[in-house]
């Protein structure tokens, strides 16, 4: 039992380390010899990279962020269902292992050990985890986010509300006849799935606290505008 409990945290550690790769910081320093965290909003995510370095850099960051967030969940599924007997000996702990991977990637994205714990805002990691566990809800949440961004021209509002909408949709999966809709990669729906995504959303909201303050003051940056 103790061994299985310890095993559940291995995917979380893997997720944290992979997500700690500071895509925006490395791209900025490699291509432009600048630290994106010292420019614009101070974030290292795709939005701030786009504002300061343009489409090419933002695209590279998007690809890297997506990869480093998707890969851990895939590895976690292999770890839980194939490389160990965790899922066969305790199905609940197997699910916990995959869920903790989502939290680990979120923490790694926001507080990367390879970049002085100064990272992004958990948007790509939150979306990637949802994509790797329930592709249907992920696409609906993405559609909501992009619609809000198109209308309001503000990424922070779209990111916060889009993921919140996705979290609320997970309650539909509590209905027995709908519990498997969109679920894949070995993940299971239910209260643990909802709780995990809610915790990730709380991390996302916390990382956007300065954006929220600017929104309340009517000073939030739009997608293309740099901070003065």
pLDDT-above-90 percentage for the chain? 66
Question: Are the CB atoms for 23 and 65 separated by under 8 Å?
Answer: yes
Angle subtended at Cα 149 by Cα 178 and Cα 34, rounded to the nearest 5 degrees = 115
Domain residue ranges of the chain, discontinuous segments joined by + = 2-115+124-216
Question: Are the CB atoms for 203 and 106 separated by under 8 Å?
Answer: yes
> Per residue in 141-156, pLDDT tens?
999 999 999 998 888 9
Quick one: DSSP state of residue 134? B
Question: Are the CB atoms for 101 and 14 separated by under 8 Å?
Answer: yes
pLDDT at 228: 45
* Cα–Cα dist 136/132, whole Å: 10
pTM: 0.89
Give me Rg for the CA atoms of the chain.
Answer: 18
pLDDT at 186: 87
> Per residue in 6-63, pLDDT tens?
899 999 999 999 999 989 889 999 999 999 888 877 778 787 888 889 889 999 988 9
pLDDT at 169: 98
């Amino acid at each position: 039992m103790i061994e299985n409990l310890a095993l559940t945290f291995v995917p979380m550690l893997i997720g944290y380390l992979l997500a700690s790769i500071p895509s925006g910081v490395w791209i900025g320093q490699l291509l432009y010899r600048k630290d994106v965290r010292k420019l614009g909003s101070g974030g290292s995510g795709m939005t701030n990279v786009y504002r300061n370095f343009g489409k090419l850099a933002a695209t590279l960051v998007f690809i890297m962020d997506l990869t480093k967030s998707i890969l851990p969940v895939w590895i976690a599924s292999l770890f839980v269902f194939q490389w160990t007997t965790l899922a066969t000996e305790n199905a609940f702990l197997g699910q916990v292992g995959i869920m903790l991977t989502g939290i680990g990637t979120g923490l790694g994205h926001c507080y990367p050990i390879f970049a002085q714990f100064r990272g992004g805002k958990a948007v790509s990691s939150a979306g990637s985890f949802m994509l790797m566990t329930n592709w249907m809800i992920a696409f609906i949440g993405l559609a909501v986010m992009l619609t809000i961004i198109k209308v309001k021209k503000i990424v922070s509002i779209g990111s916060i509300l889009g993921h919140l909408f996705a979290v609320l949709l997970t309650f539909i999966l509590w209905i027995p006849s709908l519990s498997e809709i969109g679920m894949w990669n070995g993940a299971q729906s239910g209260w643990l799935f909802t709780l995990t995504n809610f915790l990730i959303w709380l991390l996302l909201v916390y990382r956007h606290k300065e954006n929220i303050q600017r929104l309340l003051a009517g000073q939030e940056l739009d997608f293309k505008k740099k901070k003065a």
